[in-house]
Structure 1
Amino acid sequence: MATQTVLLWLAGWGMSNDLWHPIQARFPTCHHVTPDFTRATHPKDFMAVIEKEARAVGHGRLFVIGWSMGGMLAQRLAASVPIHGMVLISTGSRFVRPKEERSKGWPKASLLRMERGLIENRERVWGDFFESIATEKERGEQKDAFLASRVNEWSTEALLAGLAYLREEDCGQLCGSLDVPVTIIHGKNDTIWPFAAGAELAEGQPQAELVPIEDCGHAPPVFYPEIVTLAVQRMVESDGEGKA
């Protein structure tokens, strides 16, 4: 009997798990695990729920798909739990960067301003962030699922915990030790997490393939689901246990 294939889907900050559904539907024989981040209250809560879900998989072949913040969580998970491969989307080894590395991330002060802003005016802060996720071309496509996700399901405490995680996490020291197949998908026009961060991440991974997407912002799962689907399919099939 073939070992069950398990796909663990880790969303980005503030993102709805519903945005994964069109891609998940392409893998009907796989077991899908989608942790709920919407009620987190502390940065450690994200890894706690992920590790609990991952260990419940048992002996299944575990593949992790991580988007943005979820991509860093995936890297952290791979350091402690055996996985067969990762697809990392619009992410990097760390989000906060010093001035000389500003082309790869954000200054700490910007995240602190967002944290204060969430407390004062959550709708404005989320709206500004949401508008910057897509390129002008992508916004013109009016994807229904993406537009629906503007109504944020995360609690304010969860959003604050996510910003704190992004502010504190640094997976840079993990890169060389994560000896698993990794596909890194990154939009060339990503203004949230610049493409240079994805390229740097690919350079530091022993088994990494970088998939750049022209005219793409921070949401490849929404606007280029076929690229994410193909990356997951190839990852699963190359592992030697048959089709997904």
Structure 2
Amino acid sequence: MMASKIVKKQQGAGAKGTILWLPGWSMPDRVFDRLREQLPEFHHISADYRDADSPERMLLLSETAAESNRSADDSICDSNGFHGPLLIAGWSLGGLLALKLAAKGCADGLVLFAATARFTRSKDEADRGWPDAYVRQMIKGLMNDRQVVETKFRRNMFTEAEWDSDLGDSLPHNGSWTTPALMAGLQLLRNEDCLPELPEIKCPVLLVHGTADMICPYGVASELAASLPRAELVAVPGSGHVPFLGREADIADKLRRWWDEHQNSCYSASI
């Protein structure tokens, strides 16, 4: 019963497995709709953080969504109740949560968009994150005028060239998350650190990262690629913090090729 309240399902063919979609801070999961449409061979599920009131609740929602991949009464499941392998696709905050799930052995593969293993960084790591003081200011600002905080954050998601091309207008509107959920997400970004766990994540990982990202700078993509044992990095030149937006067909092709290669190598190793 709990999973039905927190997990949105989109029925797909499911032949290649299931993708669990974890959105970024303040974003509804429909930001992925056009990308999911390009991947009809997968079954799609997602976690909904809009009403989460604590970082612990966000982690629980993520874990429950991953567990929902097993559903004995779904007609497109196999005889064991599985939708095949589970890929977890996380963007930004969702990428941090995806890494937490993978460290617990919940994923067969990860697709990380503009992700980081630790968001807040010291001054000498400015090329890999934001200072904690800035995130604390955002939390304080939410109590005064959340629209100002969300609008400023969204402004940083895109480069000037992307704004000039109206790419930012493709995002869902502000206001889908409750204020407690926004605060919980920022607290999670302040405190979670997956860096020590990266070498233990053995599943294949596809990293998609914009070279002009001002929120999760490109340095963290290089850090992830160097620390994850089976990572492949796809750089998106000139892109900001939403590297899949407006590039859905190309990103879907790269994801499909990457996953097919890993599936084929697993099959070859088993015979």
Q: TM-score range by the shorter chain?
A: over 0.9
Deviations 1:90-148 (A, max 9, x none): 1111001112112100111111000000111111111111111111111122248624x
- Find the counterpart in structure 2 of residue 221 from structure 1: 244
- Find the counterpart in structure 1 of residue 56 from structure 2: 44
- Find the counterpart in structure 1 of residue 200 from structure 2: 177
Contact (CA 8 Å) 1:183, 1:231: kept in 2 or not? no
- Give the count of matched residue pairs: 240
1:239 Cα deviation after fit: 3.6
Contact (CA 8 Å) 2:26, 2:174: kept in 1 or not? no
- Find the counterpart in structure 1 of residue 174 from structure 2: 151
Equivalent of 1:72 in 74, 86, 96: 96
Q: Unmatched 5+ residue regions in structure 1?
A: none
Change (3 A) 1:33 1:102: same
**1:162 and 1:50 mapped to 2: Cα distance?**
13
**1:55 and 1:81 mapped to 2: Cα distance?**
11
- Find the counterpart in structure 2 of residue 133 from structure 1: 157
Change (3 A) 1:223 1:4: closer
Spell out the pairing of 1:18-167 with structure 2 (5 A cutoff).
18-58=30-70, 59=82, 60-143=84-167, 146-147=170-171, 149-167=172-190
Letter in 2 for 1:23: L
Letter in 2 for 1:140: D
SS of 1:103's equivalent?
coil
Deviates more, 1:162-171 or 1:209-218: 209-218
Deviates more, 1:232-241 or 1:26-35: 232-241
- For normalisation by structure 1, the TM-score amounts to 0.92
Contact (CA 8 Å) 2:28, 2:48: kept in 1 or not? no
- Find the counterpart in structure 2 of residue 193 from structure 1: 216
Contact (CA 8 Å) 1:84, 1:239: kept in 2 or not? no
Deviations 1:183-237 (A, max 9, x none): 1111111111100011111100111111111110001121322343123212332
**2:221 and 2:49 mapped to 1: Cα distance?**
24
Contact (CA 8 Å) 1:65, 1:87: kept in 2 or not? yes
Contact (CA 8 Å) 1:9, 1:33: kept in 2 or not? yes
Letter in 2 for 1:50: S
Determine if the alignment matches structure 1 residue 202 to structure 2 residue 214: no
SS of 1:211's equivalent?
strand
Letter in 2 for 1:178: I
Q: Which has the larger radius of gyration?
A: 2
Deviates more, 1:164-173 or 1:55-64: 55-64
Q: Unmatched 5+ residue regions in structure 2?
A: 1-13, 71-81, 265-271
Deviations 1:65-93 (A, max 9, x none): 11101111010001113422111111111
**1:107 and 1:235 mapped to 2: Cα distance?**
34
1:45 Cα deviation after fit: 1.2
Change (3 A) 1:63 1:121: same
Contact (CA 8 Å) 1:19, 1:145: kept in 2 or not? no
Percent of aligned pairs with the same amino acid: 33
- For normalisation by structure 2, the TM-score amounts to 0.84
- Find the counterpart in structure 1 of residue 6 from structure 2: none
Contact (CA 8 Å) 1:92, 1:198: kept in 2 or not? yes
**2:177 and 2:250 mapped to 1: Cα distance?**
27
Letter in 2 for 1:231: K
**2:90 and 2:168 mapped to 1: Cα distance?**
22
Contact (CA 8 Å) 1:189, 1:217: kept in 2 or not? yes
Runs of 4 or more, structure 1, over 4 Å off, are none
